[in-house]
């Protein structure tokens, strides 16, 4: 397997997207697609990815709130720093 | 080959008949047309300005195929089959839009990067490791010509769009079409005729003086058609600065002010390129536009058109564009009626086929192009439906 070289600009962009303001048009899909990016990097759990998927159809649905309700650990901006 | 080197002469003793009537209502022939004409020939999907920003997309459906045109993060316009690699769902369901960050299939949630590669499957724990290229969106052949995005679903007999349109390169370049922006959304309308009846009307200007009062008033005396040669026809007309009688035409002529980059010999020109089998790109001093038609059934077609204007347009140019659009809309409505009258004759037992004027040689040249692709068009009387495909194949073998 080839090792993917992490692009800091892409990382920063996806970090911005996953924390897009709740309610913006298209933000549900955008957050989920960014969550997929971080999951692939091993920075976001499978359970949390599924929370983002379930919220993706509704731009007003906050994955952090749903994660808390279901006992899934959300990610914070501090946890998603480039390293 | 340059434009002047094209042999656009009308032969002395040409066959003035059209296609046999059965060709306009045969379901078996329509299936051949879908496979051998529409999917194998270049089709205009949209204009680059319809997908101006990264993440912008436009979809394009044709004869059971469906494409998505999307601008990726690097600004490259790409075309993919709009089919999720998981279960075949449309990856985007809307005709156009903007996807922030990536494409997400609305069925199960597979995520694709804007370059088509797979970012990840939903519930990735339920799959083995998936290669992002192997499971990426399948590309559709795509070429951009002066801003117009062409796609082709299957390999076919045409060269690249650039080579196909080479004779007109200099003239087309003068219009700077790639820099234009959409006037509105792409327009579609279903019409109750076979697609060839639309093309038969559009491929000749003989009817203009009778059927299109506004066009006739605008440029009637100067209009001429060049037939299809190597897959492309051209029509040209110029309006004069005086003498128009209709309100919209008179005021269009008064308002029309070409952009500074347009050469003087095109200042009053309306130019049309017919692109075999089913599309036209037209240029006026104000706009560049495309229109096309696709079969829905033997007796129904989808008309589709997009119009593009100068990005920096002043009030006078905007007014001229509005008036040109008004003339065009009037013409389209008139043409739709003509196609209905023409198409309904194909079902009549007394219809004995076309007898074409020299001014309609463009129709014949289009039909000859059709015959080159599907020799079964040469069969005068309707074959049995179940024999159409095999008959076409055997006639092709005989020609080959």
ipTM of the complex: 0.95
**CB contact A30 to B (< 8 Å):** yes
Candidates A25, A29, A37, A41: best to mutate against B (most CBs of B within 10 A) is: A29
Render B45-74 in DSSP notation, one character per residue. EEEGGGG-STTEEEEEEETTEEEEEEE-TT
Predicted confidence at residue A82, as pLDDT, reads 84
**CB contact A20 to B (< 8 Å):** yes
pLDDT tens for B145-171 read 999 999 999 999 999 999 999 999 999
- For residue B139, the 8-state DSSP code is B
pLDDT tens for B279-328 read 999 999 999 999 999 999 999 999 999 999 999 999 999 999 999 999 99
- A33 with B98: Cβ contact below 8 A: no
Closest by CA to B369, choosing from B274, B233, B276, is B276
Show pLDDT as tens, one digit a residue, over chain B (400 residues). 788 899 999 999 999 999 999 999 999 999 999 999 999 999 999 999 999 999 999 999 999 999 999 999 999 999 999 999 999 999 999 999 999 899 999 999 999 999 999 999 999 999 999 999 999 999 999 999 999 999 999 999 999 999 999 999 999 999 999 999 999 999 999 999 999 999 999 999 999 999 999 999 999 889 999 999 999 999 999 998 788 899 999 999 999 999 999 999 999 999 999 999 999 999 999 999 999 999 999 999 999 999 999 999 999 999 999 999 999 999 999 999 999 999 999 888 888 889 999 999 999 999 999 999 999 999 999 999 999 999 999 998 866 5
CA distance A55 to chain B (A): 11
Residue of A nearest to B110 (CA): A33
Per-residue burial over B147-184, b if 16 or more Cβ lie within 10 Å, else e, is bbbbbbbeebebeebeebbbbbeebbebbbbbbbbebe
Q: What's the rounded mean pLDDT across residues A41-51?
A: 97
Predicted confidence at residue B107, as pLDDT, reads 96
Candidates B55, B98, B111, B129: best to mutate against A (most CBs of A within 10 A) is: B111
Predicted confidence at residue B21, as pLDDT, reads 93
Predicted confidence at residue A1, as pLDDT, reads 45
- A39 with B102: Cβ contact below 8 A: no
Predicted confidence at residue A19, as pLDDT, reads 96
Burial of B247 (0-12, 13-18, 19+ CB in 10 A): exposed
Predicted confidence at residue A33, as pLDDT, reads 98
Predicted confidence at residue A3, as pLDDT, reads 57
Residues of chain A positioned with their CB less than 8 A from the CB of B123? 50, 53
Closest by CA to B138, choosing from B79, B89, B96, B86, is B79
Nearest to B99 among A20, A26, A57 (CB): A26
List C-alpha distances in Å: B51 to A39, B10, B190, B288.
Answer: 29, 41, 25, 17
pLDDT confidence of A4, banded at 50, 70, 90? low
């Amino acid at each position: 397997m080839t090792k993917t070289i992490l692009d800091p600009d892409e990382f920063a962009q996806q970090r911005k997207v996953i924390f897009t303001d709740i309610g913006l048009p298209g933000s549900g899909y955008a957050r989920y697609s960014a969550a997929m990016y971080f999951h692939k990097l091993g920075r976001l759990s499978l359970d949390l990815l599924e929370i983002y998927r379930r919220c993706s159809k509704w731009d007003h649905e906050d994955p952090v709130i749903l994660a808390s309700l279901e006992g899934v650990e959300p990610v914070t901006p501090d946890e998603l720093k480039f390293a | 080959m340059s434009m002047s080197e094209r042999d656009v002469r009308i032969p002395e003793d040409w066959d003035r008949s059209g296609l046999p009537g059965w060709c306009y209502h045969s379901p078996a022939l329509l299936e051949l047309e879908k496979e051998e004409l529409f999917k194998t020939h270049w089709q205009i999907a949209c204009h680059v300005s319809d997908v101006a920003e990264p993440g912008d997309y436009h979809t394009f459906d044709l004869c059971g195929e469906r494409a998505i045109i999307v601008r990726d993060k690097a600004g490259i316009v790409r075309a993919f089959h709009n089919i999720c690699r998981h279960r075949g769902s449309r990856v985007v369901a809307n005709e156009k839009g903007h996807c922030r960050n990536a494409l997400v299939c609305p069925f199960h949630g597979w995520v694709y990067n804007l370059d088509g590669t797979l970012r990840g499957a939903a519930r990735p724990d339920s799959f083995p490791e998936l290669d992002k290229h192997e499971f990426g969106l399948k590309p559709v052949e795509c070429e951009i010509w002066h801003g117009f995005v062409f796609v082709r679903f299957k390999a076919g007999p045409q060269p690249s769009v650039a080579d196909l349109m080479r004779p007109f390169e200099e003239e087309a370049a003068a219009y700077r079409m790639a820099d234009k922006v959409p006037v509105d959304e792409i327009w579609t309308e279903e019409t109750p005729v076979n697609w060839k009846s639309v093309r038969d009307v559009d491929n000749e200007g003989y009817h203009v003086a009778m059927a299109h009062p506004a066009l006739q008033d605008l440029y009637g005396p100067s209009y001429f058609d060049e037939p299809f040669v190597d897959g492309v026809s051209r029509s040209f007309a110029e309006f004069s600065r005086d003498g128009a009688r209709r309100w919209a035409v008179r005021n269009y002529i008064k308002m029309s002010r070409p952009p500074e980059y347009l050469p003087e010999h095109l200042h009053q020109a309306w130019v049309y390129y017919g692109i075999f089998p089913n599309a036209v790109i037209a240029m006026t001093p104000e706009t560049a536009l495309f229109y096309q038609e696709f079969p829905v059934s033997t007796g129904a077609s989808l008309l589709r058109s997009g119009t593009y204007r100068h990005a920096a347009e002043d009030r006078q140019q905007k007014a001229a564009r509005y008036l040109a659009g008004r003339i065009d809309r009037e013409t389209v409505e008139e043409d739709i009626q003509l196609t209905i009258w023409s198409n309904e004759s194909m079902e009549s037992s007394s219809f004995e086929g076309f007898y074409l004027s020299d001014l309609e040689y463009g129709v014949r040249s289009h039909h000859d192009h059709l015959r080159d692709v599907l020799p079964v068009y040469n069969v005068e009387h309707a074959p049995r439906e179940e024999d159409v495909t095999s008959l076409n194949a055997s006639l092709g073998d005989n020609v080959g």
